[in-house]
């Protein structure tokens, strides 16, 4: 009985391995074919092949964004580039940001950059190798050690250790924020011209500002056909039909 079960298990594992390898080989062949078509200038055909790929990764997303850019689809290109940052490592991050600047320049989009955005760009090639979970666990450990210092130490030693821990926690918090920005969590791109942003999820509310096409915003929540976003110093609501999710 045990031998029969083992044989069935081995056959099942072999069957799944065969199916998986066949699917991966098909995806790789499709990716190489799409890349060859993109290199020959057939961007529309290459784009259809990239969109048919079931596996997501830096190579597929970056090449897909290039094809979208070449065919004049600037907003989907930006959204795909932001999504590719989740998989980019090292110099790949720099290549993505350079293409984002190029797309914004050619499309005439207002690319709003702050000091924080510049910091993210500088840190991206280095932080890309470190998983987000590492920063989160490190932050929790530091916070637990902070509580231990408060309970166990007294006098100047406690003050000195608290100051040191607070400085380290602030640094790790900054690294965590940079890493989350790199992963582009809850990000979106405005895909229409002069999209009005309101104080509430309805056109009857007061209008805060008008968003230009191509800017990236932070998605906060959804309510029916409206999305709450954050852009620069403003937090408001826009129509979900005017937003391309990353």
pLDDT (tens digit, 9 = 90+) per residue, 76-122? 888 888 888 888 888 888 888 888 888 888 887 766 666 667 777 77
Predicted confidence at residue 110, as pLDDT, reads: 67
Give Cβ neighbours of residue 151 (< 8 Å, ≥ 6 apart).
none
| E strand map for the chain | 187-190, 195-198, 207-211, 216-223, 226-231, 234-239, 243-245
Mean pLDDT on 22-31: 73
CA–CA distances in Å: residue 28 to residues 14, 83, 137, 146, 239: 21, 20, 35, 49, 38
Predicted confidence at residue 4, as pLDDT, reads: 72
Predicted confidence at residue 55, as pLDDT, reads: 77
Give Cβ neighbours of residue 61 (< 8 Å, ≥ 6 apart).
80, 81, 83, 84, 87
Mean pLDDT on 21-48: 80
Q: Are 227 and 190 in contact (CB under 8 A)?
A: no
Predicted confidence at residue 116, as pLDDT, reads: 65
Confidence of residue 1 (pLDDT cuts 50, 70, 90): low
Q: Are 228 and 220 in contact (CB under 8 A)?
A: yes
The DSSP secondary-structure symbol of 206 reads P
Alpha-carbon distance 129 to 125, whole Å? 8
* Total Cβ atoms within 10 A of residue 17: 10
Least confident of 64-68, 148-152, 174-178, 190-194: 174-178
Confidence of residue 126 (pLDDT cuts 50, 70, 90): confident
Predicted confidence at residue 20, as pLDDT, reads: 64
Q: State both tokens at 235.
A: 């937090």
Alpha-carbon distance 31 to 26, whole Å? 9
Q: Are 34 and 65 in contact (CB under 8 A)?
A: no
Q: Which residues pair with 234 in a beta bridge?
A: 231
pLDDT (tens digit, 9 = 90+) per residue, 156-204? 777 788 888 888 888 777 777 777 666 666 777 888 888 888 888 888 8
- Given a cut of 80, is residue 238 above it in pLDDT? yes
Predicted confidence at residue 135, as pLDDT, reads: 76
Q: Are 46 and 38 in contact (CB under 8 A)?
A: yes
Predicted confidence at residue 90, as pLDDT, reads: 82
* Total Cβ atoms within 10 A of residue 56: 13
- Would you give the distance in Å from CA 27 to the centre of its chain? 23
Alpha-carbon distance 62 to 40, whole Å? 17
Alpha-carbon distance 81 to 9, whole Å? 42
Least confident of 50-64, 69-83, 152-166: 152-166
- Number of residues that this document lists for the chain: 246
């Amino acid at each position: 009985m045990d031998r029969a079960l083992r044989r069935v298990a081995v056959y099942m594992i072999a069957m799944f391995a065969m199916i998986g390898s066949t699917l991966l080989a098909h995806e790789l062949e499709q990716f190489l074919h799409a890349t060859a078509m993109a290199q020959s200038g057939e961007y529309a055909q290459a784009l259809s092949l990239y969109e048919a790929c079931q596996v997501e990764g830096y190579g597929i997303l970056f090449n897909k964004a290039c094809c979208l850019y070449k065919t004049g689809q600037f907003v989907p290109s930006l959204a795909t580039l932001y999504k590719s940052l989740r998989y980019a490592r090292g110099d790949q991050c720099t290549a993505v940001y350079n293409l984002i600047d190029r797309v914004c320049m050619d499309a005439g989009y207002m690319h709003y950059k702050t000091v924080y955005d510049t910091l993210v760009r500088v840190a991206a090639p280095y932080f890309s190798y470190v998983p987000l979970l590492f920063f989160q666990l490190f932050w929790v450990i530091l916070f637990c050690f902070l509580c231990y210092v408060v309970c166990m130490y007294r006098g100047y030693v406690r003050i000195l250790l608290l100051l040191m821990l607070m400085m380290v926690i602030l640094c790790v918090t900054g690294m965590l924020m940079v890493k989350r920005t790199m992963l582009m969590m809850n990000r979106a791109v405005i895909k229409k011209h002069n999209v009005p942003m309101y104080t509430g999820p309805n056109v009857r509310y007061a209008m805060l500002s008008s968003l230009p096409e191509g800017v990236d915003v932070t998605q906060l929540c959804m309510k029916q056909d409206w999305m709450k976003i954050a852009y620069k110093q403003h937090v408001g609501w826009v129509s979900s039909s005017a937003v391309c999710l990353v």
